[in-house]
Amino acid sequence: MTETLNKYPEVQNYIGGNFESNGQDKLDIICPLDGTTLSTMPLSNSDDLDKAVKAAQAAYPAWSETPIKDRVQVFYKYKTLMEQNIDELAELVHLENGKTIGEARAEVEKSIELTEFACSLPQLVEGEVLEVSKGVECRIEKKPIGVVASIAPFNFPHMVPHWTIPNAIALGNCLILKPSEIVPISSIRIAEMLKKAGLPDGVLNIVHGAKEIVEAICNHPGIEAVSFVGSTKVAKIVYKASTSALKRCVALGGAKNHLLVLPDAHLEMTASNVVASMSGCAGQRCMAAAQMVGVGAIDHIIDKMCEEAKKLIPGENLGSVISAVAKERIERYITEAEEAGAKILVDGRNTTVEGKEGGFYVGPTIIDHVTPDMAIAQDEVFGPVVTIIRTKDLDEALSLENQSPYGNAAAVFTQSGGLARIVMDRASAGMIGVNIGVPVPREPFSFGGWNDSKFGAGDITGKSSIEFWTKPKKTTIKWNPEAQTNWMS
Ligand code: NAD
Delimit the domains of the chain by residue range.
Answer: 13-254+445-474, 258-428
Quick: pLDDT tens for 302-317: 999 999 999 999 999 9
Q: What angle (nearest 5°) sits at the alpha carbon of residue 137, between those of residues 135 and 141?
A: 160
For the cut 90, the answer to whether the pLDDT of residue 484 exceeds it is no
Q: Tell me what the mean pLDDT of segment 12-19 comes to.
A: 98
Cβ of 311 below 6 Å from ligand 1: no
What is the average pLDDT across 198-214? 98
Q: Does 446 contact ligand 1 (Cβ within 6 A)? A: no
**Residue 231 Cα, ligand 1 centroid: separation in angstroms?**
4
CA of 244 to the centre of ligand 1 (A): 20
Percentage of the residues of the chain whose pLDDT score is greater than 90: 94
Q: Quick check: 139 and 131 in contact, CB under 8 A?
A: no
**Tell me, which fold does domain 258-428 have in CATH?**
Aldehyde Dehydrogenase; Chain A, domain 2 (3.40.309)
Q: What is the pLDDT of residues 64-107, one digit of tens each?
A: 999 999 999 999 999 999 999 999 999 999 999 999 999 999 99
Return the ligand 1 atom nearest residue 210 CA.
11
pLDDT digits (tens, 9 = 90+) for 17-58: 999 988 789 999 999 999 999 999 999 999 999 999 999 999
2 Cα–ligand 1 center, Å = 29
Position 288 pLDDT exceeds 80: yes
Evaluate: CB of 449 within 6 angstroms of ligand 1.
Answer: yes
| Prediction pTM value | 0.96
pLDDT above 80 for 482: no
Q: Is the pLDDT of residue 5 over 60?
A: no
CA distance to 99, 111, 166, 439, per residue, from 105 (Å): 10, 10, 19, 19
Question: For a substitution probing ligand 1, which of 181, 182, 229, 231 has the most ligand atoms within 8 Å of its CB?
Answer: 231
Mean pLDDT of 398-424: 98
State which ligand 1 atom lies nearest to the alpha carbon of 156.
43
What is the pLDDT averaged over residues 320-329?
Answer: 98
Q: Which atom of ligand 1 is nearest to the CA of 449?
A: 41
Atom 34 of ligand 1, residue of closest alpha carbon:
254
With a 6 Å cutoff on the Cβ, whether 451 touches ligand 1 is no
Task: Judge whether 13-254+445-474 and 258-428 match in fold.
Answer: no
> How are strands ordered across the β-sheet holding 409-413?
343-346, 365-368, 385-391, 289-295, 257-261, 409-413, 431-434
* Domain covering 13-254+445-474 in this structure, CATH number: 3.40.605.10
Determine the angle formed by the axes of helices 86-97 and 101-119, rounding to 10 degrees.
120
Give residue-wise pLDDT tens across range 151-160: 999 999 999 9
pLDDT surpassing 90 at residue 59: yes
- Which residues are catalytic, by number? 286
